[in-house]
Chains A and B, each alone.
Chain A
Amino acid sequence: MGRFKITKKDTFIDMTPMSDVMVLLLTFFMLTATFVKKEPVQINTPGSVSSINVPDHNVLNILIDPKGRVFMSLDKKTDMMSTLDAICEKYNLSFTMDEKRAFGSVSSFGVPINQLKSFLDMEAGAREAYLSSESIEGVPCDSTNNEFKDWVEAAREINPDLTISIKSDATTSYKVIKDVMNSLQDIKCNRYNLITNLKKVKAIDE
């Protein structure tokens, strides 16, 4: 009986088509990528039927977390730094160039002004960790100490085209929202955006 001779086949698989597809996918994702901005707190926005897009540039983002802490961020680094300068002038503070640069690079901030210096002196990693920690206080925004108002006012003076958008968690108490809205009203800023998720609602049939 003769033995079968197993023909030895080449195990080499041609990866070229696969790599073609990968390159296409990669290009697609790279071009459509809008990076998730790092936010210090997890915020679940409520849904609405509104379908206006959030502007990309010249935005002042106001984040309000479920505990009512207020965080702020500007999308431009230079605006951040000039806003800090304006605040320095108002509160008679001075910061070193390094601290200013550090302020320009933070994703958002939420500390009372008297803690700002120690916040900026932290190392970059520690700062981000502190931002998302429990002990952070947020920008004070109540009738006794309203630093929030000064920040918004300063930012608006630096960049008059600024769009203000408020992003708040669905469970945030109206008490804080009221404080924020009243502060904005006080500085004659009556037009702003509330960020929501898209929600489908069926039309009214009558």
Chain B
Amino acid sequence: MQTKQKKKTARIDYTPMVDMMMLLITFFMLCTTLARPKSMEINMPSNKKDLKEEQQNKVKASDAVTLILDKDNALYYYQGIPEINSLKTTSYGEKGLRAMLAAKNINAIQKVKELRKKYASLATADVNKEAAQRKKFEEELSDIRAGEGTPNVIIKATDGATYKNLIDALDEMQICDIGKYVIVPITEFDEDMIKHFKDNGGKPAVTVESTN
């Protein structure tokens, strides 16, 4: 006896499978973060009171720049030893703070530029070599940034300043290749200086809000 096999079509309908895939893809797409956040490393000074005099960095007055971040995106600065009327104002960003710091740090910026060029020409495909070069580059970079004659920036902020102001100020340190900067609490004298500045008709420079 012979059974006659009925020939069935071997086609499978994939539509439900595709539907499900679509759903899964949508789920994963919505749940992923492709742009990972970046971070900024920061070293704060120790606040130990018993630090010996010679351990404390004595800053040459001519190299010291003090930034004071105030409310409403106001930014003040003074150079060297503070006096009641030595306060100046500037804006955040390219035209203000960056131009001011870049002018002070022009040698280091030039050196960093040359260093980058030098290492760009040495670029290799070898992974091990590249890592070694990278390390050497970082070392030389930090040497230049903390070298002789670079400004020492002291960042102070009033309670009215925002976190963005702080990050913007720290950011300029990186952009302008300044290796020596520190965040310290604001003093009463600094507040007096701001008051004096305002009492004498001074208006803080206005920072145009960027879209960021």
Which A residues have a C-beta under 8 Å from some C-beta of B? 12, 14-16, 18-19, 22-23, 25-26, 29-30, 32-36, 45-54, 64, 165, 167-175, 177-178, 181-182, 184-186, 188, 190-199, 201, 203-204, 206
- Say yes or no: A52 contacts B44, CB within 8 Å: no
Q: Counting CB contacts under 8 A, is B131 at the interface? A: no
Instruction: Known A50-B40, A194-B40; judge A169-B163 contact (CB<8 A).
Output: yes
22 A-B pairs within 8 Å (CB atoms) are namely A15-B18, A26-B24, A29-B28, A32-B34, A36-B33, A46-B163, A46-B212, A53-B36, A170-B163, A171-B164, A174-B166, A178-B159, A182-B185, A185-B46, A190-B45, A193-B40, A194-B42, A194-B167, A195-B40, A196-B167, A198-B38, A204-B175
Instruction: Give B52-97 interface residues, CB cut-off 8 Å to A.
Output: 69
Instruction: Known A16-B14, A185-B46, A190-B45; judge A204-B109 contact (CB<8 A).
Output: yes
Instruction: Known A15-B14, A15-B17, A190-B46; judge A52-B163 contact (CB<8 A).
Output: no
Nearest-neighbour CB distance to chain A for B160, whole angstroms, equals: 7
Contacts of A51 in B (CB 8 A): 38
B37 contact from A64, A197, A204, Cβ within 8 A: A197
Instruction: Known A35-B32, A201-B175, A206-B102; judge A195-B39 contact (CB<8 A).
Output: yes
Q: Counting CB contacts under 8 A, is B115 at the interface? A: no
Contacts of A199 in B (CB 8 A): 171, 212
Q: How long is the Cα–Cα vector from A54 to B32 in the complex, in angstroms?
A: 16
- Say yes or no: A196 contacts B31, CB within 8 Å: no
Instruction: Known A168-B163, A186-B47, A190-B45; judge A54-B40 contact (CB<8 A).
Output: no
Q: How long is the Cα–Cα vector from A18 to B38 in the complex, in angstroms?
A: 36
- Say yes or no: B38 contacts A53, CB within 8 Å: yes
Q: Counting CB contacts under 8 A, is B98 at the interface? A: yes
Contacts of B166 in A (CB 8 A): 174, 177
B41 contact from A26, A36, A193, Cβ within 8 A: A193
B44 contact from A12, A181, A198, Cβ within 8 A: A181
- Say yes or no: B39 contacts A174, CB within 8 Å: no
Instruction: Known A185-B46, A188-B46, A201-B175; judge A174-B158 contact (CB<8 A).
Output: yes
Q: Nearest CB to that of A29 among chain B residues?
A: B28
- Say yes or no: A195 contacts B171, CB within 8 Å: no
Contacts of B25 in A (CB 8 A): 22, 25-26, 29
Contacts of A190 in B (CB 8 A): 43-46
Q: Counting CB contacts under 8 A, is B161 at the interface? A: yes
B106 contact from A47, A50, A171, A206, Cβ within 8 A: A206
Task: From A46, A165, A184, A198, name the one whose CB has the most chain B CB atoms within 10 angstroms.
Answer: A46
Q: Nearest CB to that of B47 among chain A residues?
A: A185
Contacts of B47 in A (CB 8 A): 182, 185-186
A171 contact from B32, B163, B185, Cβ within 8 A: B163
B18 contact from A22, A34, A181, Cβ within 8 A: A22
Q: Nearest CB to that of A202 among chain B residues?
A: B94
Instruction: Known A165-B39, A174-B69, A204-B175; judge A19-B14 contact (CB<8 A).
Output: yes
Nearest-neighbour CB distance to chain B for A205, whole angstroms, equals: 10
Nearest-neighbour CB distance to chain B for A95, whole angstroms, equals: 32
- Say yes or no: A19 contacts B17, CB within 8 Å: yes
Contacts of B13 in A (CB 8 A): 12, 15
Q: How long is the Cα–Cα vector from A68 to B162 in the complex, in angstroms?
A: 11
Instruction: Known A15-B14, A197-B38; judge A22-B32 contact (CB<8 A).
Output: no
The 4 closest A-B pairs by CB, nearest first: A15-B14, A22-B21, A29-B28, A170-B164
